Structure 1
Amino acid sequence: MKDLKGKVALITGGTKGIGYGVAEALLNQGLKVVITSRNKQSAEDVAKELAIKTNTSDAVIGVEADVRQLQSQEAAVKQAIDKFGKLDLVLANAGLGHFGSIEDITVEQWNDVIDTNLTGVFNSIKASVDELKKSKGYYITISSLAGTNFFAGGSAYNASKFGVTGFTQAVMLDLRQHGIKVSTIMPGSVSTHFNGNEPSEKGAWKIQIEDIGELVVDLLKMNPRTLPSKIEVRPTTPPSK
């Protein structure tokens, strides 16, 4: 996929944070991009914003889709095909977090995290695998360093991200003989609105969303014979504890 111009990407949770940063980077490389959100108006508004920002008319659309529902993801894939004729990349990015001791976290919070962060990745890949077989495309999932490093209060989030890491690696082995590449990116602290954070100059030490966008572009441009299947990235110089 070294020649990226005209390739088509579907990004779940693409209206903000890492998904937004990757969408912008891909548009600047000449890709066509479909971003999804549970909120239709938000998806459409951000798609228009990205088109203006990257000076790419008719190269990006926003669609309503809920990764927790397989049929919703299948509908998003269909809209991508109907609009752009093919699908080359799926970035399974949509995610959320609820944190607290196992004594305090609720069943509803547990289900929300697992259904979105883990089952959502399954649904995103399951809904699009036939199309990526045709294009010999690329799956990239967004896990986390929390997918290998557990912490107190992180039972639901750790479970979801440990799951994403393991699931993605197994899928990589399932699909490699079809010419499909599969990678998972495991970021540390990223400057986003995740978990109520407000990006600011105080977070300049963190990974920025454009850094993840650059990383995705680098993965896509890598020689097809080589696959970085699991990539850990972290801030170079975090604050001293």
Structure 2
Amino acid sequence: MPNVLVLSFEGFSFSSRQLYQQLLPKLLSRASVHESLTIQDALNYILTGWPTVILVTDPVITSEDEDSQRLLLAVADLTKHGCTTILMGFFAAVVTDRLNVIFKEYFDLRWRVAEYTSQDTSLLTPDENLIRTSSLVPSFYPKALFLGRVPAAQTIYVGSSGNSMTAYAAYARVGLGKLGYVGDVNFGEEPERLILAMCHLDRPEDSLQTTEDMES
């Protein structure tokens, strides 16, 4: 069974279900889940190699104080050694442009913060070995912090802003692991489905495809 570590440091408890109504019950039925409310507790779990998935629900790991830096290094190292790390929840709502540096220096990605906006967003067709898309809605209109400079192969949902394409959600291989980003600042069904798929915890019963779709 996968081990999911949830990082919730800024006075918010993921287990109170203020974010996504159905995400926690689904996670609990499909994985072992631990929520860390302090950096030291998170480090204790990460340094033992316990998590197979880390959900980062706020931007504390992007702060420049010593404890946050230690945590960021530990998260990046475990990700490169096979963990799946997903930036989600309140992360995009309050993160700063320091995120650009973190993408580049800690995860070797050229992703950059683009714009905070609402726009039509469509599902791309990524490599099915990277993420399954049968449970994901084909399009919707979110409010999100979109990213630029995300290659098409790493873009899960794309929005269109002027002459450039921006990513609502990005997902990439980082070493032996994966890094996911969900820019949504609201907590509806669409990002909930996406997070489960990024965790590889989506199930056939979550599928939105009909039998006809799958046979065509």
TM superposition score category, shorter chain reference: 0.3 to 0.5
- TM-score of the pair, normalised by structure 1: 0.34
Q: Which has the higher helix share?
A: 1
Q: Which has the higher strand share?
A: 2
- TM-score of the pair, normalised by structure 2: 0.37
